Amino acid sequence: MIAVIGAGAMGAALAMLHDRAGLRTALLGTRFDDAVIEACGSGRPHPALGISLPPSIDCRRHGRWGAVLQNTERVVIGVASEGLADVVGEVAGIARQHVVWALATKGWDSQTLRTPSQIVRSLAERVERVVVLAGPALAPELVAGAPTAMVCASDDLDVARDIANTLIAAGISAAVTDDIAGAEVAAAYKNVTAIAVGMCEGLSARLPESVYVHRFANARAAIFAHGLADMTKLAAVNGGRVETILGLAGAGDLFVTCLGGRNGNFGRLLGEGQTPGQARAAIGSTVEGVANTTAALALAERAGVELVAARAVDAVLSGRMAPEKAVAAALAGETA
């Protein structure tokens, strides 16, 4: 039995991949997922994905996890980073001690600055097998069967290969690495960079399209490069490797995040002139890059490194600079 926790788009997509690979799978909703679980369990389309889950997936509401967790060999976590500690604590009190933890959650804990794998190891006893799922993998494309390549990072490569083989059986290309630190830094910092890249696009929208037909492509590319350099520095001081940052987990995931999604759209709204509060309200859900920016700067200060993209985003979020000034500073390689 495979237990996938979190009924949002990514959690549901991961449940469908495990089911597609021929594994008995349950989708366990958090306390925020009751309406989604009810819809999926009754055969209605998933609200975020627009398709129905296979009836072979056992959809369970929060409070009805016990029987599944007591019999699962793999717990797959697909919740947002701010809810991870609560979920891990709850699962750890029910699941078997030697269960495999597969983490699709991305981002640092805003209070402790811990990564998802560090949160699991700190809250669950006798954790031996943790795998971080990374790389460019938008949930709608996963369920549609679009060509996708992911990374499974673990200090136990045999366990990483087991999960990679599940993805491969579901039609997803998958590589393995032992660089958990690099994969987790990349997964978090790509949200920060996507906000900065989005700000460039938003700034271009203020001007005639006939003049800026490519929507500040030059500026977006420069910010992308600075963000990738930031990511490399931050990974290095946390024990990560440059090849991870230049691969699927880093450059790949950063690229797909900049193409769209909540963080890029949030940045675009900032660039268009909305306040952070207005932009958050327009997005209507958690923009993880906001908390990731604060965490990244705290980690960078601790390590004595400078982060160009994070400083630009923070300057706008704090009101110290207008987006055009923050972007200009970032283009010059300066910290705002």
Is 233 a catalytic site residue?
no
Q: Are 251 and 243 in contact (CB under 8 A)?
A: no
Q: 3-state class of 124 per DSSP?
A: coil
Q: Output the six-digit token pair for 297.
A: 């700067």
Q: Output the six-digit token pair for 52.
A: 């129905």
Active-site hit among 106, 190, 233, 325:
190
* Spatial distance between the Cα atoms of 301 and 102, rounded to a whole number of angstroms: 30
* Spatial distance between the Cα atoms of 1 and 330, rounded to a whole number of angstroms: 48
Q: Output the six-digit token pair for 209.
A: 């399209």
Residue 81's nearest CA partner among 206, 237, 263 is 263
Cα 178 to the chain's mean position, in Å?
19
At 149, which helix (H) or strand (E)?
strand 149-153
Cα 231 to the chain's mean position, in Å?
15
Q: 3-state class of 188 per DSSP?
A: helix
Spell out the alpha helix ranges (H) of the chain: 9-20, 34-41, 66-69, 84-92, 116-123, 139-144, 157-169, 180-204, 217-237, 242-245, 253-259, 261-272, 276-283, 288-303, 308-317, 323-331
Laid out side by side, the sheet with 130-134 consists of 58-60, 25-28, 2-5, 74-77, 100-103, 130-134, 149-153, 173-177
Q: 3-state class of 238 per DSSP?
A: coil
The residues carrying an active-site annotation are 190
